[in-house]
Amino acid sequence: GQNIDQPTEMTATEGAIVQINCTYQTSGFNGLFWYQQHAGEAPTFLSYNVLDGLEEKGRFSSFLSRSKGYSYLLLKELQMKDSASYLCAVNNDYKLSFGAGTTVTVRA
């Protein structure tokens, strides 16, 4: 089985930085994904980590520590369009399992 936890909501100001944490417990680990989902839309891929460390893609970075069962998604230079739900997902025994998602609200 798996247990994936992330905060329910976060609020930040335009131009700021926000860090979304994700902890997981799985019986088998084959990588961790972050997805973005705007209200009423489908999830879209943001990042992938399978080895420990930081992966940077423009304004978004994702970090993984397999020994701690921990990841975070870092959103820099926040823009209004970044207001969305961010989903942590673990490839567990080759099935993708999702956390409940973190709703990020960016204020002007």
Partner 1 sequence: IAGITQAPTSQILAAGRRMTLRCTQDMRHNAMYWYRQDLGLGLRLIHYSNTAGTTGKGEVPDGYSVSRANTDDFPLTLASAVPSQTSVYFCASSASQEVNTEAFFGQGTRLTVV
Q: Return the biggest CA–CA distance within the chain.
A: 42
Q: How many C-beta neighbours within 10 Å does residue 70 have?
A: 14
CB closer to partner 1 out of 69 and 99? 99
Q: In the complex, what is the shortest distance from the CB of residue 13 to partner 1, in angstroms, rounded to a whole number? A: 26
| 45 contacts partner 1 (rule: CB under 8 A) | yes
Nearest alpha carbon to residue 47 among 39, 59, 38: 59
**Is there binding between residue 86 and partner 1 (CB under 8 A)?**
no
Residues binding partner 1 (CB under 8 A): 30-31, 33, 41-45, 48, 50, 87, 89, 91, 94-101
